[in-house]
Amino acid sequence: MLPRGRPRALGAAALLLVLILMGFFLFGGDLEYGDLPADHGGRNRSDCVPLRPLPPKCELLHVAMVCAGHNTSRDVVTLVKSMLFFRKNPLHLHLVTDAVARNILETLFHTWMVPAVRVSFYDAEELKPQVSWIPNKHYSGLYGLMKLVLPGALPPALTRVIVLDTDVTFASDIAELWALFAYFSGVILLRLDRLRQAGWEQMWKLTATEELLTLPATSLADQDIFNAVIKRHPGLVLPLPCIWNVQLSDHTLAERCYSEAADLKVIHWNSPKKLYVKNKHVEFFRNLHLTFLEYNGNLLRRELFGCPSPPPPEAEQLQRALAHLSEEDTCLEFRQQQLTVHRVHITFLPHEPPPPRPHDVTLVAQLSMDRLQMLEALCRHWPGPMSLALYLTDAEAQQFLHFVAASAVLSARQDVAYHVVYREGSLYPINQLRNVAMAQALTPYVFLSDIDLLPSYSLYDYLRASIEQLQLDSGRKAALVVPAFETLHYHFSFPNSKAELLALLDAGSLYTFRSHEWPRGYAPTDYARWREAQAPYHVQWAADYEPHVVVPRDCPRYDPRFVGFGWNRVAHIVELDAQEYELLVLPEAFTIHLPHTPSPDISRFRSSPTYRDCLQTLKDEFHQDLSRHYGAAALKYLTALQQPEAPQG
């Protein structure tokens, strides 16, 4: 029996299995260690629970979670990784989310393409009115109460579902939990059909209303209300092994559980401190969690043998395209990289969208781990919104989190959106990264820059003023060219104005960008004219021109066939010209390229004739596609394919 009076806060010594409403759902919550029935001696024995067979191999298991915000979305990913690592059954995830979490997770699962996993989303906003009347002090807010309304929110045909908190880590096959059909604090399995028949909604609301007459507010969110229902309907009580819910909050007696258990099943980080909870053995559990936090999620795209499940349409198309590749193709590596669908986790960190302004500009760029040191300087130079795609492994993504947390400059910026594109393949998917960052920009215009370019301090304000002055919002198709310069010095005094920049240029401290290695890429900007210009001026497209430009957000995307080094930005400028964007050079705008070590792709380009031959093949194919799309108008771009050298970007 449960103790009389107010239901107690749930600890970690033992799990109590309570069958409520004649089997409508099973509830498992932790009582304090001394609260177990005397005949069980207060111990967490597993022999009191009959062994149950696992569900059939291909039975679909349903799992529900409530998720809101950027940080909880990251928690969901780690939880799902731990489930996928051990699972042997198809899964259907039912996610109750706010708009932020849905946007993140919908993109993630769409690009993850894990076989035998379905995902359905439910709008948390529609459920809020059902629980907003309950005073609640729990750190999860209203979202911590939403498990109460799941029977009404989930599809009527769904009869059973495991409900998980997002802060749990699996150390076993979730099918074992499905077989137990148990509710734990943090883990629930509901018999939805019977709950609905019994009038669960009226029952919990009536109980909550009566409890709140003496209780100012819930402190454990839905757990307080579940406890109160159990108190009124004690039903059957059966101790379950705590290995299914090793809780690591500050005031539990979890050590008495895991010190005796031979096999832990689920770790529950049910403390606001999460991985930094005070526990003398926390390092052991943290390492288990970090195993999945840093685990390569690409490896979880494995088939369930013997359980045929139709792949999503995108995966099926990808499989057909890969099947048509030839092992004899010397450019096979390029072909495979072009077809790779990378996992994408947008807005990896909390992000505040900029207020809507008609001439606002987002700086768009991409980077890998070896360019993180550029971020602080970029944030100091560009006070406006940024959308950055980072090409990282799962482990590097966690290092990136620590990097941002340790930086006062980066931590203070909520208008920088970081989108993690997970590493897969041997070539850098530069244009795919740019497209991810462009797609997530929320302002009407984007500045298509690179991470190693520092904009002038006033560039953000100047670009917005120029867009308004040139009336680009009237539908004028224009690409505003921001002239680029470079320094060979790692430390130098950044110019505060065009006059100061020209003085450094004349002194030999600065150069026009790539003037020695690749003058064709930037010469059409006409730097001599820019020195004297007082107003924007037109320039004509020329072969291999690759300036950094400001364009409307809905401009053509980058061509993803260009991976690694070479012609990736050139092809985009060709596309803009083909779509009749005029090129306007801004007289007061400038960026300066900072020196850095060469990328691996540049080294391969310089050392491998095959690499350069493949780049030429991609250029030929690009032009063929232009001809098919634009007809005779594309003939002028033939000159871009007849140069003896390859471009630098």
Q: Which of 72, 53, 76, 69 is CA-nearest to residue 173? A: 53
Sign of the alpha-carbon dihedral angle for 37, 38, 43, 45: negative
Q: Is residue 324 part of a domain?
A: no
- 249 to each of 9, 157, 226, 268, how far by Cα in Å? 11, 36, 19, 8
Q: Is residue 263 part of a domain?
A: no
Its domain, for residue 116, covers 61-237
Which of 376-380, 602-606, 612-616, 636-640 shows the lowest per-residue confidence on average (mean pLDDT)? 636-640
Residues 97 and 212 in one domain: yes
Count Cβ atoms within 10 A of the Cβ of residue 15 and give its class: 0-12 exposed, 13-18 middle, 19 or more buried. Answer: buried
Tell me the percentage of the chain whose pLDDT exceeds 90: 49
pLDDT of residue 280: 62
Q: Determine the average pLDDT of the residues in 477-499.
A: 93
**Pick from 237, 259, 279: which residue ends a domain?**
237
Q: Is residue 73 part of a domain?
A: yes
Contact 510, 485 (CB under 8 A): yes
Tokens of 607: 């050392």
164/285: higher pLDDT: 164
Residue 446 makes CB contacts below 8 A (sequence gap 6+) with 361, 362, 363, 364, 387, 438, 550, 551, 552, 553, 555
Q: Model confidence at 273, in pLDDT bands (50, 70, 90)? A: low
**Within the chain, how many helices (H) and strands (E) appear?**
22, 24
pLDDT digits 0-9 by tens, 326-360? 888 888 888 989 889 999 999 999 999 888 899 99
C-beta neighbour count of 355 within 10 angstroms:
9
8/313: higher pLDDT: 313
Residue 392 pLDDT more than 70? yes
**Any idea what the CATH number is for the domain that residue 123 is in?**
3.90.550.10
Residues 203 and 351 in one domain: no
Residue 596 pLDDT more than 90? no
C-beta neighbour count of 370 within 10 angstroms:
11
Q: Is residue 134 part of a domain?
A: yes
Q: Is residue 566 part of a domain?
A: yes
Contact 261, 243 (CB under 8 A): yes
Residue 517 to residue 649: CA distance in whole angstroms: 11
Residue 362 to residue 553: CA distance in whole angstroms: 9
Residue 267 to residue 160: CA distance in whole angstroms: 23
Averaged confidence pLDDT in the chain: 83
**Pick from 221, 237, 253: which residue ends a domain?**
237
Q: Model confidence at 390, in pLDDT bands (50, 70, 90)? A: very high
Type of residue numbered 10 = L
pLDDT of residue 268: 74
Residue 495 pLDDT more than 50? yes
pLDDT of residue 347: 97
Contact 484, 453 (CB under 8 A): yes
644/388: higher pLDDT: 388
Tell me the percentage of the chain whose pLDDT exceeds 70: 82
Residues 225 and 374 in one domain: no
Residues 364 and 231 in one domain: no
Tokens of 640: 């871009």
pLDDT of residue 253: 63
Residue 469 pLDDT more than 90? yes
276/300: higher pLDDT: 300
Q: Determine the average pLDDT of the residues in 212-233.
A: 76
Q: Is residue 39 part of a domain?
A: no
Contact 441, 364 (CB under 8 A): yes
Which of 146-160, 275-289, 365-379 shows the lowest per-residue confidence on average (mean pLDDT)? 275-289
Q: Model confidence at 370, in pLDDT bands (50, 70, 90)? A: very high
pLDDT digits 0-9 by tens, 555-591? 999 999 999 988 899 999 999 999 999 999 999 999 9
Q: Model confidence at 238, in pLDDT bands (50, 70, 90)? A: very low
Residue 127 pLDDT more than 50? yes
Q: Is residue 46 part of a domain?
A: no
Which of 193-207, 452-466, 499-513, 616-630 shows the lowest per-residue confidence on average (mean pLDDT)? 193-207
pLDDT digits 0-9 by tens, 61-104? 999 999 999 999 999 999 999 999 999 999 999 999 999 999 99
pLDDT digits 0-9 by tens, 33-53? 223 333 333 334 444 444 567
**Pick from 237, 270, 300: which residue ends a domain?**
237
Residue 516 pLDDT more than 90? no
What is the total count of domains within the chain?
Answer: 2
- Between helix 282-293 and helix 69-86 the angle, nearest 10°, is 90
Residue 420 pLDDT more than 90? yes
pLDDT of residue 49: 46
Residues 229 and 351 in one domain: no
Which of 134-138, 191-195, 223-227, 568-572 shows the lowest per-residue confidence on average (mean pLDDT)? 191-195
pLDDT digits 0-9 by tens, 398-418? 999 999 999 999 999 999 999
pLDDT of residue 558: 96
Q: Is residue 514 part of a domain?
A: yes
Q: Model confidence at 445, in pLDDT bands (50, 70, 90)? A: very high
pLDDT of residue 225: 78
